[in-house]
A and B are shown apart, each in its own frame.
Chain A
């Protein structure tokens, strides 16, 4: 193989390595987005659910992630036990007392393991 061809091959390999380094993610790190929730986002449920569960697209930092549920007057109604599931760090949940019919809003604040913060809301309604 000629010296010129060897040099060309080395240059091509270097270019590929640079491109790969540029586009391949550096681990499973990113913003955590809501994947799905129970009760379902925007749903109507019969009777008070015992808890709200939210699954995210990334693992969460338990110390800096939380769920909050408020009623139509903005009063917080959830129990003070919002937590990330230790066996599934993509799941965050909080317990609810027996709630009367009405509209409720869930506020979630999520810190993914790479320190990206995201937050969001969704609503659900309880009917008798």
Chain B
């Protein structure tokens, strides 16, 4: 018989420990950081953080990805898929933003009929904790929501339950290192830490665990090197490129299905940023067979709405 456990199990001891740890980190950053007005699309002093493909950005913005085309590695069940996704970020206030993500999936499992449809709708509310131009640092706290029954539940395994995901995102550029380290200063790192809280502990007899999600982007900005550290003659289009490696992992914290462990991908690639849009491409390497087999790829076209529409939808909805 189908049985849903008590919601009290959503907050077991392991999860509470993670929440307390995350709260302490966020509080420490909040207390030591010097709040600054949020800049548009990822500026912290000399540093420009491009919008990364796999991991979340540590800034509120007016931007749109349309489209993100993904050919994931072959699934653990042998499935081949193509995903077409769109994301939008919109500032409500200068430091408060809203995000939405929706995607269409074409999935084919050998010997079975190809299925297509939408995955789950994700939305988020984000608050810019601080931007420190001198240290090229920024941090953001948010709450993501994956909504139940907004995708094809039976055919594409879209969730029949809503998941709440508090997140903490950060970015740090290393331009504040001494001038004696000119070729290290273009490095930057961004990161995400979050925990999933599904509102149902089981779906169709399969447990829905609390997951710990952690991801990082390691970036080397040729734009920063050429225009802020040392003019070494890099010309267009290379002077606007950011080679990077993104990694993202998910580890179940409880209600673990036997055989299920950490999954994730490593994605080396490159992002070119222009005045109005950026183009990114990454290879997708699964970290284990549970994460997939073989090689995948993703390409993304991403628009800066604040530059394309500087006097209308590129502005925060309210100034407060």
Contact = CB atoms under 8 A, between A and B. Distances in A.
Interface of A: 22-23, 25-26, 29-31, 33-37, 40-43, 57-58, 103, 114-116, 118-123
A35 to B, nearest CB: 8
Contacts of A122: 227-229
Interface residues of B, number: 25
A118 B276 CA distance: 15
Contacts of B253: none
B307 interface: yes
Contacts of B308: 23, 25-26
Contacts of A36: 227, 231
B237 to A, nearest CB: 13
26 contacts: A22-B303, A26-B309, A29-B310, A30-B275, A30-B304, A30-B307, A31-B40, A31-B307, A33-B223, A33-B227, A34-B228, A35-B227, A36-B231, A37-B231, A41-B230, A42-B182, A42-B229, A42-B231, A114-B310, A118-B43, A120-B45, A120-B46, A120-B227, A121-B45, A121-B228, A122-B228
B276 A30 contact: yes
Interface of B: 40, 43, 45-46, 133, 179, 182, 223, 226-231, 275-277, 303-304, 306-311
A81 B34 CA distance: 32
B264 to A, nearest CB: 33
B166 to A, nearest CB: 32
Contacts of B231: 36-37, 40-43
Nearest to B236: A35
Contacts of A118: 43
A43 B179 CA distance: 12
Contacts of A34: 227-228
B293 to A, nearest CB: 36
Contact of B226 (A41, A57, A119, A123): A41
A23 B311 CA distance: 15
B276 A25 contact: yes
A115 B310 contact: yes
A58 B275 CA distance: 10
